Amino acid sequence: MGKIGLTTTIPVEVILAAGRTPVDLNNILISSTNPGEKVEAAEVAGYPRNVCGWIKGLYTVANELEDLEGVIAVTQGDCSNTHALMETLELAGIQTIPFAYPYDRDRDLLKLQIEKLMAYFGVSWKQVNEIKQELDRIRRKVLQIDRLTWEMGLVSGFENHLFQVSCSDFEGDWVKFERKVDRFLEELSERPSSAGLIRLGYIGVPPIVLDLYDYLETIGARVVFNEVQRQFVMPHLAEDLVEQYLLYTYPYNIFGRLKDIEEQIRLRRLAGIIHYTQSFCFRQIEDLIVRKTLELPILSLEGDKPSRLDARSRLRIDAFIDILR
Ligand code: SF4
């Protein structure tokens, strides 16, 4: 059975019920040994310089991936660049499969979209719900890792990011992934707490910058809330699959996200927020809404290509952490 490429989180239960292997192209890009070269390869193929680095990297990853049967094209609720990305993939001979999150969170429309995806893959609600039971068990364990991050100080900001972001595709093999999660939880039972670091929230799309979390820890701060990554875990764990993807905040408007962020700021006693935005991303506009809404210190940070933090960003982070001390 082939691989199905994902550019963002979708109802992955459908893909797994169909016996296919979901592959989050973002995770493949950022964990590759040469993500910067993949971005450059897309520019060589003709992608403009002033387009988001993630999009360019995804284009190269999709073209390089073996056994790729198709890519799910999320035409609404993710990225304004997806249309053109999918068109260029189609031109390269890659099958695209459409899926859309309704902007107004309409339940019937979302159900229809999920059922269209199920019809494409030829799976029933019974099969999809059986997979959901399996995934929910793993999601609960990953949510436990998240809890051990902010309540006990046992998990680094990067580890928190990595386990949660992996729940978009369960690393293509949920059985293996669950074993990895179990091993990590076991390891945590012997780990000393690092409570006492400045508690930060990270909001926005996952960073293309490779050493942000580690750098923060070297200067005495830790991310104890990864907003979008936590959403990939489906923290509400609704019984009903459609309800689950309605409660998932990322694909809908920013105000639902802000409500979730405000709740977590209070719960996790955050001292400040890093709002990460990607160069050339339409979501940069939302920074002004974030700044007007949230009532705690915010550092807006921008990343472009996969690389380490540049000197200017490090200086700005240092100054921000000094203010919070
Ligand atoms: S960072 Fe923005 S432009 Fe880039 S893929 Fe994500 S949503 Fe699209």
- What digits encode the pLDDT tens for the residues 47-77? 999 999 999 999 999 999 999 999 998 988 8
Which two three-digit tokens encode residue 213? 């979390």
Report the pLDDT value the prediction gives residue 180, as an integer from 0 to 100.
98
User: How far is 40 from 55, CA to CA, in rounded Å?
Assistant: 11
151 CA distance to ligand 1 middle (Å): 31
Report the pLDDT value the prediction gives residue 163, as an integer from 0 to 100.
98
280 CA distance to ligand 1 middle (Å): 8
Mean pLDDT over the full length of the chain: 96
120 CA distance to ligand 1 middle (Å): 26
User: Per-residue pLDDT for 195 more than 90?
Assistant: no
281 CA distance to ligand 1 middle (Å): 5
Cα of first residue to Cα of last residue in the chain, in angstroms, is 53
- What digits encode the pLDDT tens for the residues 228-268? 999 999 999 999 999 999 999 999 999 999 999 999 999 99
Which two three-digit tokens encode residue 136? 């929910």
Of ligand 1's listed atoms, the one at least distance from the Cα of 280 is 3
Percent of the chain with pLDDT over 70: 100
- Write the CB contacts of 268 (distance below 8 Å, at least 6 apart in sequence): 150, 199, 201, 224, 225
Residue owning tokens 């780990």: 191
Report the pLDDT value the prediction gives residue 80, as an integer from 0 to 100.
85
Which two three-digit tokens encode residue 156? 């680094």
Ligand 1 pocket at CB < 6 A? 52, 54-55, 79, 81, 205, 278, 281, 283
pTM of the model: 0.96
Task: Evaluate the CA torsion angle 27, 28, 30, 31 in order and state its sign.
Answer: positive
User: Per-residue pLDDT for 42 more than 90?
Assistant: yes
CB 160 within 8 A of CB 194: no
125 CA distance to ligand 1 middle (Å): 31
Report the pLDDT value the prediction gives residue 77, as an integer from 0 to 100.
87
The model's confidence at residue 297, banded by pLDDT at 50, 70 and 90, is very high
Q: Give nearest CA residue, ligand 1 atom 3.
A: 281
Report the pLDDT value the prediction gives residue 114, as an integer from 0 to 100.
98
Q: Give nearest CA residue, ligand 1 atom 8.
A: 79
Report the pLDDT value the prediction gives residue 193, as an integer from 0 to 100.
87
